């Protein structure tokens, strides 16, 4: 293979992360995790993650909660509301729409809207937000249009690597399809991960065909008209034995 299509182990891992976080399977796994917490069917990994969020959020709080049953009931109610927002995105994906961001939008509403002042003052909400965001943020940064205008770079992949390795330690089978290409700023022919043809070191991107959404972005074009005038070409990377994306 030429240097433009040769995938290093790190590049393969980046591609695997993009495919995993944008997959319907990942969204369903997050739904299952929330259901386990709501229904009290915790496994050690989830229990540890939830405890970590509690410690992180409550370390700066002075309040003491003396009613653990009320605390747990409030958390279950809040997580059930978050799960429904996630299920709205899952339903949209099942209809062929790469929608995400319902959870992130909800978190922003709580932070700013007066009607959510009760949540804003709730320790339980902030623990739930911290816990859920660890798993929902990667999806949103790839699929939410205003966030993906600055595509993931190496530091983004490094930040999410540890969590990803726990979720998917083995690399999937990948194949660079030089017969399937796309150009930045245009709708790609199919949903999936693409790599730059002219720069093997450029971070891969996930893109999908949808009107006014999902196009490949050149991370260097902002404020640089000379670069913007030269759209980049990309190759599609096929995920063999792929899960639902």
Which one, of 124, 158, 122, 160, lies nearest residue 140 by Cα? Answer: 160
Answer yes or no: is 194 within a domain: no
**Per residue in 228-244, pLDDT tens?**
456 789 999 999 866 66
Q: Which domain holds residue 49?
A: 19-143
Residue 227 has pLDDT above 70, yes or no: no
Q: 10 Å Cβ neighbour count for 62?
A: 5
Question: Considering the domain boundaries, does residue 68 fall inside one?
Answer: yes
On whether residue 173 sits in a domain, the answer given is: no
Q: What DSSP letter does each residue of 129-187 carry, written as one string?
A: HHHHHHHHHHHHHHHSTTTTTS---HHHHHHHHHHHHHH--SPPPEEEEEEEEEETTS-
Residue 201 DSSP one-character state? T
- Domain-located, residue 164: no
What domain count does the chain have? 1
pLDDT of residue 106: 93
Residue 63's pLDDT band (boundaries 50, 70, 90)? low
- β-partners of residue 213 are 210
Q: Is residue 71 part of a domain?
A: yes
Across the range 10-39, mean pLDDT stands at: 96
Q: Is 100 within a domain?
A: yes
> What radius of gyration do the chain's Cα atoms show?
20
Query: Distance between CA 103 and CA 81 in Å, rounded?
Result: 10
pLDDT of residue 91: 96
Reported as a pLDDT band with limits 50, 70 and 90, residue 64 is low
Q: Chain-wide mean pLDDT for the chain?
A: 88
Any domain includes 168: no
pLDDT tens, 197-220? 988 788 999 999 988 889 999 865
Between 116 and 219, the more confident residue is 116
- Asked, for residue 10, whether it belongs to a domain, the answer is no
Helices 123-143 and 24-39 pack at an angle, to 10 degrees, of 170
If we measure between CA atoms, which residue out of 217, 193, 228 comes closest to residue 145?
A: 217
On whether the pTM is more than 0.85, the answer is yes
3-state SS, residue 206: strand
- Residue 222 pLDDT grade (very low, low, confident, very high; cuts 50, 70, 90): very low
Indicate whether 223 pLDDT > 50: no
Would you state the pLDDT for residue 146? 87
- Does residue 31 surpass a pLDDT of 90? yes
């Amino acid at each position: 293979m030429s240097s433009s299509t040769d995938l290093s182990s790190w590049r393969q891992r980046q591609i695997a992360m993009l495919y995993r976080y944008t997959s319907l399977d990942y969204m369903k796994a997050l739904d299952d995790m929330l259901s386990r917490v709501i229904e009290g069917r915790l496994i050690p990994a989830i229990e540890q993650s939830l405890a970590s969020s509690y410690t992180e959020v409550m370390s700066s709080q002075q309040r003491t909660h003396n009613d653990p049953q009320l605390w747990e009931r409030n958390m279950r109610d809040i997580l059930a509301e978050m799960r429904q927002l996630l299920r709205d995105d899952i339903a949209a994906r099942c209809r062929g729409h790469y929608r995400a961001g319902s959870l992130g939008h909800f978190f922003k509403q709580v932070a700013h809207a007066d009607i959510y002042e009760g949540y804003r003052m709730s320790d339980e909400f902030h623990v739930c937000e911290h816990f859920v965001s660890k798993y929902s943020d990667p999806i949103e940064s790839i699929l939410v249009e205003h966030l993906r205008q600055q595509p993931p770079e190496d530091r983004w992949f490094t930040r999410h690597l540890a969590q990803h390795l726990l979720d998917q330690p083995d690399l999937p089978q990948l194949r660079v399809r030089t017969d399937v290409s796309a150009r930045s700023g245009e709708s790609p022919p199919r949903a999936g991960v693409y790599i730059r043809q002219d720069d093997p070191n450029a971070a891969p991107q996930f893109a999908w065909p949808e009107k006014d959404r999902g196009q490949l972005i050149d991370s260097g074009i902002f404020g640089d008209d000379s670069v913007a005038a030269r759209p980049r070409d990309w190759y599609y990377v096929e995920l063999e034995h792929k899960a639902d994306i």
